[in-house]
Amino acid sequence: MTITTRLFGKSGPAVTQVGLGGEGVLRTYGRSPEAKAVIEQAASQGITYFDSAQAYAGSQGYFGNFWRSHAELRSGIFQTSKSAARNFSGAKIDLVQSLETMSLESLDLWQIHDVRTRQDIEEIEGPGGALRAFVEAKEAGMVRFLGVTGHHSPRILEYAVKKWPVDAVLMPVNPAEAVLGGFLDRVMAAAKDRGLAVIAMKVLGGSHYISPEGGVTAEMLLRFALSQEISTAIVGCSSPREVQALAAVGRNFQPLAEAEEKNLVEAFRPHARRLAFYREEI
């Protein structure tokens, strides 16, 4: 069985509805054998969306090692990375370094990473800001799509989604967000209005959300995310077994029934502020 795919945005390519996140073992240094095993397992399971970032420790190097030995797979993989540089020159340097480290000629998606504050917005879109470097990289064919990521402030991310020439947004998607509001309503609606791809992160929240004794499993949280209007849900993995479990949900996904989703959200309601620890703005 193959993993179900969804369009990347309104008319983008098809990507698997679950993707390998850049966290887990990929956000380490010096663990090349374990990282290789996770990346190879993802590729063999049929996952096509691979996440990375300049800021994620050795993740780009791990992918570079993978591509040097598996170049024949490149055409079937949607490879992403990110830059947290706020100025033009820093972003350009990041892209050159990312491509060199990852042994790639281009990225499928390059994302403006972790936009948090009004100051970030002003620096990125102002004179000499990183936004121009992103636009020029796309025009030059060095990247296929542009994106923006954020999990601190729905208000700030909503502005970027509405105003910037991006094709995708990476944002938190989980039951706590359904309680708190902001990302799953305002940012999601803005992205849909513009036909952007929505990539779900913070789906499992590490160990913060999972409570098997309470009926909250990793599978249920993934099903919650995939029941929303997203293109893919990414999860960082630390072992081939975790990758296999992620891929299994991608193959066998059944949307949550309305009652199931409502019950899950209500179970999170008393704990939502604590569980959304990554937010600065509630």
What average pLDDT does the segment 59-86 reach?
96
- Overall fold of domain 5-275: TIM Barrel (3.20.20)
State how far the Cα of 34 lies from the Cα of 32, in Å rounded to an integer: 6
Question: Tell me, what amino acid is at 4?
Answer: T
> Residue 244 has what pLDDT?
98
Residue 96: pLDDT band with limits 50, 70, 90: very high
State how far the Cα of 146 lies from the Cα of 91, in Å rounded to an integer: 13
What average pLDDT does the segment 198-221 reach?
91
Q: Evaluate if residue 207 carries a pLDDT over 90.
A: no
Whether the CB-CB separation of 230 and 199 falls below 8 Å is answered with: yes
Q: Evaluate if residue 70 carries a pLDDT over 80.
A: yes
Residue 71 φ then ψ, to 5°: -60, -25
> Residue 214 has what pLDDT?
80
Residue 167 φ then ψ, to 5°: -105, -10
Whether the CB-CB separation of 157 and 115 falls below 8 Å is answered with: yes
Claim: this prediction has a pTM higher than 0.75: yes
Domain boundaries along the sequence of the chain: 5-275
